[in-house]
Amino acid sequence: MSLPYVAFEGIEGAGKSTVSDRVRSLLESDGRSVAQVREPGGTAVGERIRSILLGHDLAPEPWTEALLFAAARAQLAAEVVGPALAGGSWVLSDRSVYSSLAYQGAGRRLGIAAVRAVNEPGLLGVWPSLVVLLTVDPERGLARQEIGDRIGDEGIDFQRTVADGFERLAADDPDRFVVIDTHAPLDEVVEAAYRAIRSRW
Ligand code: TYD
């Protein structure tokens, strides 16, 4: 059976962290051990890379950006996600390699296959088994966002391209993705995510 590594994905303002926090509590009240991580970050190396990527003071080129996300992720896989799964924990991740495929592959137009190819070697098979894609209308998502980071501030056309990228990824890989529309009330969204996860494991 696949390992319980679940990624929450979506564009800005989709509510990933709120939903993953609530799902974590539900899993813990079922008695499961859960490690919760976020990308980019989650390790000392990753948090430094995060500040390069998301601060407004630097302007990495698109491939520099893609490779830095991949580097932060390789560190997280080796240091946190891989060991947690090996120790029998569940892993819930706020974003994952699929954000790179959608934001850098589609959004920055680097190509989904090319971005996948630079991520795979560092991950050593540590790859989300289930992706909960939370969808929101891009205008509404941007309006929900509080403080924008460098990439979150790219604007509405960029958000639309990223949203299309996520939709394509989900359509091409229906066994891995569950798509949940977040225009529904939060309790329903959480319930749908939890049900999808429990039906898998
Ligand atoms: P974050 O502060 O984690 O906020 P949120 O997930 O709530 O949007 O911001 C992460 C930003 O980095 C977000 O704009 C998406 C972007 N990102 C990528 O472009 N590629 C990636 O691989 C990842 C993990 C994130």
Q: For 153, which DSSP code?
A: G
Q: For 39, which DSSP code?
A: S
What is the set of domains in the chain, with CATH numbers? 5-200 (3.40.50.300)
Per residue in 121-168, pLDDT tens? 999 999 999 999 999 999 999 988 877 789 988 999 999 999 999 999
The answer, yes or no, to whether any atom of ligand 1 lies below 6 A from the CB of 73, is no
Q: Which is nearest to 93 in space by CA: 85, 105, 103?
A: 85
Q: For residue 178, what pLDDT is reported? A: 98
Mutate to test the pocket of ligand 1, among 17, 19, 63, 151 (most ligand atoms within 8 A of CB): 151
Atom of ligand 1 nearest to the CA of 40: 24
Q: Which is nearest to 82 in space by CA: 124, 45, 24, 118?
A: 124
The answer, yes or no, to whether any atom of ligand 1 lies below 6 A from the CB of 39, is yes
Residue spans of the chain under pLDDT 70: none
